[in-house]
Copies of this chain bind each other. A is one copy, B any other.
Amino acid sequence: MTVTYSRRVADAGLGTFSHLLLRWRGSIYKLLYRELILFTLLYYFFSTMYRFVLYEDQKRQFEKLSMYCDRYAELIPVSFVLGFYVTLVVSRWWGQFESVPWPDRLGALVGAHVRGVDETARLTRRTLMRYANLSGLMTPEELRHLEALPSPHNKFWVPCMWFVNLALRARTEGRINNDVALTAILAELNNLRTKCMTLYGYDWISLPLVYTQVVTVAVYSFFLACLIGRQFLDPAQGYPGHDLDFYLPVFTLLQFFFYVGWLKVAEQLINPFGEDDDDFETNWLVDRNLQVSLLSVDEMYDNLPAVERDKYWN
């Protein structure tokens, strides 16, 4: 269920984006609250340990450790790694959306070139489009056929070949009455098929696991270091930059919010065919495609309003 908010941000006014901060569905809060609670709990666990449990000399040790962690956590190039990684994930995400196959173009050609209003013609057109939708709407006969084909590999291409064969039969029977039209239909089918294979490729060839692991470890270890390094130390000890005990580590939580939020963008987009709020609505898409396909070639066949003069005529 994609979260669409284009209409909310059509005009740039006073703090346009601020309106978006109050949404829950698909929001960063919904994605992040569990991690944030966990992080906060751990932070206060260490904080309580430091304030109430440790002996004095243990406190001194902890303070040294804290300052050590704080200084070196800065060395982890979180922004850099995340910036490049998220950019990559976003470009793959959009690439996947662009590869989603739409049968509309094919429907127009099938509706145009496969002529006839008798039942066989209708059946031909509808069946062609059903094949093109590759979907689970097979008749039992077709399923038997598909399973009878001996091949260990993915068979998503078989309905494509049925389409081709049926189109050829229509050409032979004269329902498609010229070779240019047939070639155009087959080319369009092939484009659809190429899109399916591209999607298949995106699924098969994930972003290298190594990259994802490097990014995840970078972010997680940064915040592990922050759990200790960003504790408020006793102001009485006079450590530079530790002259205020604020109890609530606002900026560390904000940083957690940004960096882990940025990582969440990647987590959500890396496979846009799941059930995330922002994933593509695959089921809706399959339904819509089948319905529009059948409408295009059946109800809409030779269906035309009366052709009348428009209001600018002369």
Contacts and interface: CB of A to CB of B under 8 A. Distances in A.
A79 B139 CA distance: 57
Given A209-B26, A291-B151, A104 B157 contact: yes
Contacts of A299: 149
A6 B271 contact: yes
Contact of A197 (B11, B21, B104, B158): B104
A105 interface: yes
A48 interface: no
A75 B255 contact: yes
B258 A307 contact: no
A237 interface: no
A76 interface: yes
Give chain A's interface secondary structure class: helix
A63 to B, nearest CB: 10
Contacts of A265: 208, 210-211, 214
Contact of A21 (B127, B181, B213): B213
User: Of residues A181, A205, A255, which shows the largest number of chain B Cβ atoms within 10 Å of its Cβ?
Assistant: A205
A160 interface: yes
A312 to B, nearest CB: 6
B108 A264 contact: no
Contacts of A255: 75-76
A307 B205 contact: no
19 contacts: A4-B204, A4-B206, A9-B267, A9-B274, A11-B274, A12-B274, A17-B267, A76-B258, A80-B83, A105-B194, A108-B189, A141-B308, A162-B303, A165-B302, A165-B304, A169-B302, A180-B180, A294-B310, A294-B312
Interface in A275-304: 275-280, 288, 291-292, 294-296, 299-304
Contacts of A49: none
B193 A310 contact: no
Contacts of A306: 141
A108 B11 contact: no
A146 to B, nearest CB: 8
Interface in A181-239: 181-184, 186-190, 193-194, 197, 201, 203-206, 208-218, 220-221, 225
Given A10-B273, A21-B213, 17 more contacts: A4-B203, A4-B204, A10-B276, A11-B276, A27-B210, A28-B213, A28-B214, A65-B244, A88-B90, A97-B205, A104-B157, A105-B193, A109-B190, A126-B313, A168-B302, A180-B182, A294-B312
Nearest to A190: B105
A64 interface: yes
